[in-house]
């Protein structure tokens, strides 16, 4: 009798266990106390439910009501130091998803996340797994990119990541710091990119790292900086410096105070020497022009050498990617070829996004970096969340089209693509024929 009762009780206990999918209909506030439970299985279930909700559902109004509470609860798991790595990494993923759903100009959300996670990433405690520190860096950068609305805080966060890039030794952490720094840079105006180009030497150094992911991130960073730096502002700055030098020389001459007597006494002598002075000045001007030209040529040579060095580094990465396998190998090679095209010819990559059966195309490294980061976090729900989340659409300048407008757009796009494909085929054919002719000429010369 006792055995039967025990079996019956166990059977009932199994029946009342709710699955993760059954919990996704709950309000978000329901999960906040569950995230603080002592029992790991309860916390883990709550995290998985949050992840599923934020990927596949539209809960923006709910998130706005309890975003900082969710952030605090998830951050307490991340920073506790006594949780399993898998639980912490899932909590960080949930935190990134909540940040994206929360949307633009949610500074308090960003403040909560940065305040909680900064000690973890800057103090670099030995007992913490590098994977946790790396993921925490990604969470801070994503929240800054999406939620931060104050320019000073945004710039300060970029500077914090810069310090980590300059001083960190661990390669996975370096990779996450560089990727986060790059993501935050993509929201800056072009005129503000220049001051961050001082990191280019360090990034070039990292592109030679033995850690493959870091080499790839460094190569993308170089392509972004090269394509986005505002050379016009550099020229304006140089022009302002030259003007300041000229003004300084002019004011210095004005400080001399000659008497009228001395000016009259030297006037005749000055007239006699005027002719010879003009000749001397012309000779000096000619010499100055030659020196300027030599300096310009030297600068051009140095720039060309630097560009060639970077191109060679990226081309070597293409060769190294042969060690990879399958889809990852193809993706790496395609990405690296796009980088080489940018460095050699100034050609930027094209990316597409599908939202509610409509295709949107983006040009340039800014959108490439942003899209790939958002897709990494949203995974299979990327298209769904772009449909739900107006802030995401605004961030990328997406305006949904009517059915008629979309049909016209698709016809024009495919027509343009076919034309480009035909031109590319013709160009490749010409290059191939030219190469074959050259080889034939060389062979004929050898036979003689």
Span 280-303, pLDDT tens digits? 555 555 555 555 555 545 555 555
Does residue 183 share a domain with residue 34?
yes
How many structural domains are present in the chain? 4
Q: For 260-381, where are the alpha helices, taking DSSP H only?
A: 260-320, 326-345, 365-378
Rounded CA separation 41/350 (Å)? 43
Whether residue 149 is found in the same domain as residue 222: no
Range of the domain at 418: 403-439
What does the alpha-carbon distance between residue 323 and residue 339 come to, in Å, rounded to a whole number? 19
396 and 417 within one domain: no
Do 326 and 214 share a domain, yes or no?
Answer: yes
Between 46 and 423, residue with greater pLDDT: 46
Q: What is the pLDDT of residues 188-213, one digit of tens each?
A: 998 899 889 899 899 989 988 889 89
> What pLDDT score was predicted for residue 81?
85
408's tokens: 């016209």
Smallest Cα–Cα separation from 64: which of 109, 117, 110, 126? 109
pLDDT in tens, 53-84: 999 999 999 999 999 999 999 999 999 988 99
Whether 138 shows a pLDDT value over 90: the answer reads yes
182 in Cβ contact with 141 (< 8 Å): no
Last residue of a domain, one of 131, 165, 187: 187
Are 65 and 99 in the same domain?
yes
Give SS3 for 430: helix
Residue 435 lies in a domain: yes
Least confident of 173-187, 205-219, 419-433: 419-433
* 34, 182: one domain: yes
pLDDT band at residue 124, thresholds of 50, 70 and 90? low
Task: Find the range with the poorest average confidence among 237-241, 251-255, 284-288, 338-342.
Answer: 251-255
Average pLDDT, the chain: 78
Picking from 44-53, 59-68, 165-174, 308-317, which range would have the lowest pLDDT averaged per residue? 308-317
pTM for the model stands at 0.72
What mean pLDDT do residues 406-422 have?
70
- Whether residue 79 is contained in a domain is answered as yes
For residues 14 and 154, the model is more confident at: 154
Percent of the chain with pLDDT over 90: 45
User: How many CA atoms lie less than 13 Å away from 406 in the CB half-sphere?
Assistant: 13
> Is pLDDT above 80 for 375?
yes
User: Where is average pLDDT lowest: 1-10, 67-76, 109-118, 212-221?
Assistant: 1-10
Nearest to 92 by CA among 79, 110, 109, 111: 79
Domain contains 173: yes
Mean of the pLDDT values across residues 230-245? 50
Examine the domain organization and report whether 36 and 65 are in the same domain: yes
Whether residues 52 and 154 share a domain: the answer is yes
- Using CA atoms in the order 168, 171, 172, 173, what is the torsion angle rounded to 10 degrees? 0
Whether residues 368 and 408 fall in one domain:
no
Q: How confident is the model at residue 356 (pLDDT cuts 50, 70, 90)?
A: confident
Same domain, 23 and 145: yes
Is 235 a member of any domain?
no
């Amino acid at each position: 009798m006792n055995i039967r009762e025990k079996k019956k009780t166990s059977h009932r206990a199994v029946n009342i266990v709710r699955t993760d999918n059954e919990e996704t209909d709950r309000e978000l506030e329901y999960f906040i106390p569950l995230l603080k439970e002592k029992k790991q299985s309860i916390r883990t279930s709550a995290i998985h439910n949050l992840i599923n909700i934020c990927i596949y559902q539209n809960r923006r109004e709910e998130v706005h009501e309890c975003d900082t509470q969710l952030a605090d609860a998830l951050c307490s798991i991340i920073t506790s130091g006594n949780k399993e790595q898998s639980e912490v990494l899932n909590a960080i993923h949930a935190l990134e998803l909540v940040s994206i759903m929360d949307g633009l100009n949610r500074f308090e959300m960003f403040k909560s996340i940065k305040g909680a996670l900064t000690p973890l990433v800057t103090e670099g405690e030995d007992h913490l797994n590098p994977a946790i520190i790396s993921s925490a860096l990604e969470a801070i950068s994503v929240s800054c990119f999406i939620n931060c609305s104050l320019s000073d805080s945004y710039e300060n966060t970029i500077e914090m990541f810069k310090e980590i890039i300059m001083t960190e030794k661990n390669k996975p952490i370096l990779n996450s710091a560089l990727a986060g720094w790059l993501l935050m840079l993509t929201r800056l105006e072009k005129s503000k990119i220049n001051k961050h180009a001082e990191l280019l030497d360090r990034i070039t150094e990292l592109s030679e790292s033995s850690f493959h992911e870091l080499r790839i991130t460094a190569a993308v960073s170089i392509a972004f900086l090269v394509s986005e730096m505002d050379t016009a502002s550099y020229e304006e700055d140089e022009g302002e410096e030259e003007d300041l030098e000229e003004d300084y020389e002019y004011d210095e001459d004005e400080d001399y105070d000659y008497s009228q007597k001395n000016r009259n006494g030297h006037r005749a002598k000055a007239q006699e020497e005027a002719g010879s002075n003009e000749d001397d000045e012309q000779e000096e001007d000619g010499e100055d022009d030659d020196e300027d030209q030599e300096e310009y040529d030297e600068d051009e040579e140095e720039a060309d050498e630097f560009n060639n060095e970077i191109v060679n580094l990226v081309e070597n990465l293409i060769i190294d990617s042969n060690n990879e396998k399958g889809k990852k190998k193809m993706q790496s090679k395609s990405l690296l070829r796009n980088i080489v095209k940018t460095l050699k010819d100034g050609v930027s990559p094209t990316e597409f996004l599908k939202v509610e059966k409509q295709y949107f195309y983006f040009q340039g490294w800014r959108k490439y970096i942003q899209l790939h980061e958002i897709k990494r976090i949203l995974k299979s729900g990327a298209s769904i969340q772009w449909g739900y989340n107006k802030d995401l659409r605004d961030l990328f300048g997406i305006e949904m089209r009517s059915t008629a407008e979309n049909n016209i757009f698709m016809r024009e796009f495919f027509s343009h693509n076919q034309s480009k494909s035909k031109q590319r085929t013709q160009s490749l054919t010409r290059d191939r024929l030219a190469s074959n002719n050259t080889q034939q000429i060389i062979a004929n010369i050898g036979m003689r």
